[in-house]
Amino acid sequence: MIITGEALIGGVAVKGTGSPVRAYNPSLQQPMEPEFHTVDFDQIDQACRLADAAFDTFRALSDEKRAVFLETIGEQIMALGDVLVERVMAETGLPRARIEGERGRTVGQLKLFANLLREGSWNDVRIDKALPDRAPPRPDLRMRMIGLGPVAVFAASNFPLAFSVAGGDTASALAAGCPVVLKAHSAHPGTSELVGRAMVKAVELCGLPAGVFALLTGSGNGIGQELVRHPAIKAVGFTGSRSGGTALMAVAAARPVPIPVYAEMSSINPVFLMPRALAARAEDIAGAFAGSLVLGVGQMCTNPGLVIGVAGPELDRFANAAAQALAGGAACAMLSPGIAGSFQRGVAQLAEHADVKTLALAPQAEGKGAPALFVTSGAAFLSQHALSEEVFGPASLVVACKDMAELRQIAESLEGQLTATLQLDDGDLDEAHKLLPVLERKAGRILANGFPTGVEVCSAMVHGGPFPSTSDGRSTSVGTGAIVRFLRPVSYQNLSQALLPEVLRDNGPAVWRRREGELTRN
Amino acid sequence: MIITGEALIGGVAVKGTGSPVRAYNPSLQQPMEPEFHTVDFDQIDQACRLADAAFDTFRALSDEKRAVFLETIGEQIMALGDVLVERVMAETGLPRARIEGERGRTVGQLKLFANLLREGSWNDVRIDKALPDRAPPRPDLRMRMIGLGPVAVFAASNFPLAFSVAGGDTASALAAGCPVVLKAHSAHPGTSELVGRAMVKAVELCGLPAGVFALLTGSGNGIGQELVRHPAIKAVGFTGSRSGGTALMAVAAARPVPIPVYAEMSSINPVFLMPRALAARAEDIAGAFAGSLVLGVGQMCTNPGLVIGVAGPELDRFANAAAQALAGGAACAMLSPGIAGSFQRGVAQLAEHADVKTLALAPQAEGKGAPALFVTSGAAFLSQHALSEEVFGPASLVVACKDMAELRQIAESLEGQLTATLQLDDGDLDEAHKLLPVLERKAGRILANGFPTGVEVCSAMVHGGPFPSTSDGRSTSVGTGAIVRFLRPVSYQNLSQALLPEVLRDNGPAVWRRREGELTRN
């Protein structure tokens, strides 16, 4: 399949009319062919209108048909073969194994949502039958979930497949019956076009309205904001920076009809080192920590950017071992020159900070990121907000607290996080029990004796957390729970069997449902 | 129990330090004793801090203990006896039967949430056990829901018990484990104090931290906005006007940490008259419509403020019969002079509108509302947004369309609604099927051959709908589904049995849970 540099609107490839954009190969440090163009407002409008027009048809599909559509997308992505893998590698600087793994994750995600649709409980069917003899009589009431409407999805830079064109936001929105208008990330436009064409093919093969999916190309905040402002758009999925996410939140809140924004933005993912665990295995923890920190050149939402322990010889053991493991780390190509530049500025600020000591700082290079580790005191961390800001990349800050009370105080001071990790042994249980309620309030996922990179796609995953880790801590963007972001309940009172949606009929499909509030299969 | 005119903060009655406020008896048209006072910002701060401090303890209670707490509130409300009923009647002008019914609904609502807690599936437990032999190994992941944190609840004017101090928002927030800081409605402060004291008594009887509930007195937008701005507040429940709700949404979105607002605001609850039904029983429909319109002096969120049919002799039969039923209606005391004034202004605007004809207009009187019915054309309705604005009270507008296509166009043009109603017979099924997808996108509840007043409290109820009927169409404020507004998911990775919350342990309580995504009791 050839990459033409076009947007995909209404199932047709069209050139944007705006400014040109090119992909950039961060390993070779050179721009790539072909030239893409930013779409104009008319093209955005057309994509959104087509999505709106497709909504009723698409959401009326049976769960089985929507499941087949999701699986067909996966098949079409696999059918792109090595052309896709090589383009992703070229556009991101990420190695083949990572990309092949991420492709597997992306296809697996689509299958997971297909299975969720077939299982059917996502409909949240509730049936309270009429009680004609009650005083006053109770009407027949039945409820189900329907999609919100067309969803604008913004692809992420750091997961060119799993959080991009056919990634988790797209898969869960489509599963919910919502057409998707996708804003491709300008750092991997070729990857986006390839996957976008696979999706258009799947739309055709399944005989769906072309408006079910559109791919918008280009760069700049203008098109994203115009997309979020469009009246046909009913929700937003976004993975990116805090500034980008909060800008979209502001646009969405200022609309005549405000809409929900699910933005996954920033997290420093604190790791708490409990005293007994630290005493027993400071070096082991340090080794695993270093491995997690440099994974994907640190370009993970769940990168462990903060480590908190009580000052003393045991924490020194950890710090020394981690510094040793990281100091020899090579500078690796980051996803884009912009990301590398931000990382190096963030590292330089920490290195020059009066209250911060550098533990490890491998030599940086243009467009690359090399591991960096710093240490500060609990008092300094508590008094200076800048020390808790995310440095996206393989850098982390150790906070040496004067005692466990200060460690808990630091936990309490943190902003919302995607994850919080405890390194603990049996003897640390009492301290962990004190910390746990704080961590529950601060994070969407709490880990014991692991590291937060590696986000399993499953039913029990929460990849989300209180603001500013996401815009909406009531949600997850990974795992089956992601579908509820794009659903709303509708109740039907005294509708005849003929008028009721099939899933609510007396002889409807055997999905899980609540009768008088009680879950049952029948 | 004596009404002292005080706020309730930390379980203690305290006088507000701000401007005085009195209740007003709309039947007698005179102010009532005692004097209340608006709380100051320090008092708001104190209530919010205490709620914050109580949160971890309160949410850690077992489902059973929280269920008992909700039931105890109900018992304490009943124990207020006739003192409460008479005060509500005096403050609202509503008759005894309505108030006793509403008290029953309020206590029933508390019991419903108690039962929901005992049933346990609200926890949304998900367990995906470790797969150590998979490559890469899968960790043990378990998920549950926890409360968002302290909730600010704004009491409604039109349901002094069921949507006020111990109403649906409070019951669902408490069920979710969230302390409540309640802003009493200044139209029924005595009722609020009585119910507030019952709640404080229940907090004491159950041995809970006093911060679990606070009652704030006073009037003016200042205290409401200060409450929503307070960093300890994590969500807002509101029932009231569109201007009030959108103002709180703006405050919540502008916070350093934005929070969700669940505001139930305005709805005109369109009723669609299908041709066959109209031909068969125009007069019957008109009679039932008139009954629904004047219920509670039209002061219902689900009041049928808009009736849409195809112009012709059948619609005239409906209009004439409805006008006849309404014309003799007496002017009844409305909830407050402010509400009566707004109603009369709205009615006068319609009566004077060039494109509107008055069908029935009973004589109005100061502080009262008498039924009013108007008619306009489909073309006029489509071209003038003012005709779709809510007139809160017993007034409705008939829209006479030129054909069914225009009727569908009007459905498509409507803003979000709490309800949409179809009057239909078997011969109308085809037309109803065309209309249904539009109504699903516009409303939270769709009724056939009934009227929207009367909101059953049950599992399958949706009392919510797209903006501006509510701020967040993904939710309901009535029925068990209301609890999810105040919950967020937390995932636990590889936590030991000792550290896991009880509901997630291997030998935890036998609640519904998902294992590998499949629902099971075990």
Cα B467 to Cα A499: distance, rounded to the nearest angstrom: 25
Do B461 and A143 count as a contact with CB atoms less than 8 A apart?
yes
Convert the pLDDT of each residue in B296-309 to its tens digit.
Answer: 999 999 999 999 99
Q: What tokens were used for A130?
A: 């009429």
Tokens describing residue A288: 């695993």
Interval A357-398: pLDDT, tens? 999 998 999 999 999 999 999 999 999 999 999 999 999 999
- Residues in B closer than 8 angstroms to A491, CB to CB, are 444-446, 460-462, 476
Chain centre distance of CA B85: 21
pLDDT band at B35 (very low <50, low <70, confident <90, very high): very high
Contact (Cβ atoms closer than 8 angstroms) between residue A262 and residue A169: yes
pLDDT tens, position by position, A295-317: 999 999 999 999 999 999 999 99
Q: Is the pLDDT of residue A186 over 90?
A: yes
Residue with tokens 């009367």, as numbered in its chain: B454
CB A122 within 8 A of CB A116: yes
Give the chain B residue nearest A113 (alpha carbons): B517
Which residue out of B264, B390, B406, B415 is catalytically annotated?
B264
Length of chain B: 522
Fold of B13-20+31-265+473-485: Aldehyde Dehydrogenase; Chain A, domain 1 (3.40.605)
- Give mean pLDDT, residues A351-359: 98
> Could you say which of B415, B460, B494 has the minimum Cβ distance to residue A128?
B460
Determine the pLDDT at residue B223.
93
Cross-chain Cβ contact A437/B518 below 8 Å:
no
CB contact under 8 A, B489 and A462: yes
Closest Cα in chain A to B451: A493
Kindly report, residue by residue over B75-94, the tens digit of the pLDDT.
Answer: 999 999 999 999 999 999 99
Residues of A in contact with B143 (CB under 8 A): 459-462, 481
How does strand A12-14 pair with strand A372-377?
A: unpaired
Q: Is the pLDDT of residue A247 over 80?
A: yes
List pLDDT tens digits, range A412-464.
Answer: 999 999 999 999 999 999 999 999 999 999 999 999 999 999 999 999 999 99
pLDDT tens, position by position, B468-483: 999 999 999 999 999 9
Which residue in this structure is represented by tokens 């032999």?
B133
- CATH class of the domain at A270-448: alpha beta
Catalytic residue, chosen from A6, A71, A91, A301, is A301
Å between B166 CA and nearest CA of chain A: 22
Contact B116 A487 (CB under 8 A): no
- CB–CB contact A142 B472 (8 Å): no
pLDDT of residue A112: 97
pLDDT tens-place string over residues B367-409: 999 999 999 999 999 999 999 999 999 999 999 999 999 999 9
pLDDT at residue A234 is higher than 70: yes
CB-nearest partner of A491 from B437, B460, B516: B460
Per-residue pLDDT at A510 = 86
Whole-number percent of chain A with pLDDT over 90 = 96
Per-residue model confidence (pLDDT) at position A341 = 96
CA distance B248 to B235: 11
- Which residues are registered as beta bridge partners of B214? B181
Q: If DSSP codes are grouped into helix, strand and coil, which group holds residue B184?
A: coil
3-state secondary structure at position B27: coil
Residue B522 has pLDDT above 80, yes or no: no
Average pLDDT, chain B: 97
Q: Mean pLDDT lowest for which of A119-128, A159-168, A507-516, B446-455? A: A507-516
pLDDT of residue A1: 66
Residue to mutate among B57, B472, B491, B514, with most A CBs inside 10 A, is B491
pLDDT > 80? residue B427 = yes
Q: How far is B337 from chain A (nearest CA, A)?
A: 30
Interchain CB distance below 8 Å, B460 and A148: no
- What pLDDT does B219 receive? 87
The SS3 of residue A5 is coil
Digit-coded pLDDT (tens) for A91-116: 999 999 999 999 999 999 999 999 99
Nearest to B56 among A437, A474, A480 (CB): A437
pLDDT single digits (tens) B94-128:
999 999 999 999 999 999 999 999 999 999 999 99
Residue A522 has pLDDT above 80, yes or no: no
Nearest CA in chain A to B480: A517
From chain A, the residues in CB contact with B514 under 8 A are 459-460
Nearest to A492 among B253, B415, B446 (CB): B446
Is B48 a known active-site residue? Answer: no
Q: Read off the pLDDT band of A221 (50, 70, 90).
A: confident
Residue B1 has pLDDT above 70, yes or no: no
Q: Which strand (E) or helix (H) includes residue A446?
A: strand A443-448
pLDDT for res B186: 94
Nearest CA in chain A to B59: A437
Complex ipTM value: 0.97
Q: What's the rounded Cα separation, in Å, for the pair B152 and B329?
A: 39
Determine the residue of chain B that is closest to A481 in CA distance.
B489
Q: How far is B23 from B30, CA to CA, in rounded Å?
A: 9
Active site residue A178: no
A151 Cα to chain B: minimum distance (Å): 14
Please check whether the domain covering A7-264+472-486 is classified as CATH 3.40.605.10. Answer: yes
Contact B432, B408 (CB under 8 A): no
Question: A-chain residues within 8 Å CB-CB of B490?
Answer: 440, 443-446, 462
B172-188 burial: b if 16+ Cβ within 10 Å, else e: bbbbbbbbbbbbbbbbb
Alpha carbons A496 and A498: distance in angstroms, whole number: 5
> Across residues B490-499, what is the average pLDDT?
98
Sequence-separated (6 or more) residues with CB below 8 Å from residue A168: A109, A162, A457, A477, A478, A482
- Of A305, A307, A304, A329, residue with least CA distance to A316: A307
Sketch the domain layout of chain A as residue ranges: 7-264+472-486, 270-448
Whether B416 sits inside 8 A of A257 (CB atoms) is yes
Task: Count other C-beta atoms under 10 Å from residue B389's C-beta.
Answer: 16
Q: Return the number of CB contacts < 8 Å for A and B.
A: 220
Phi, psi of B83 (to 5 degrees): -55, -45
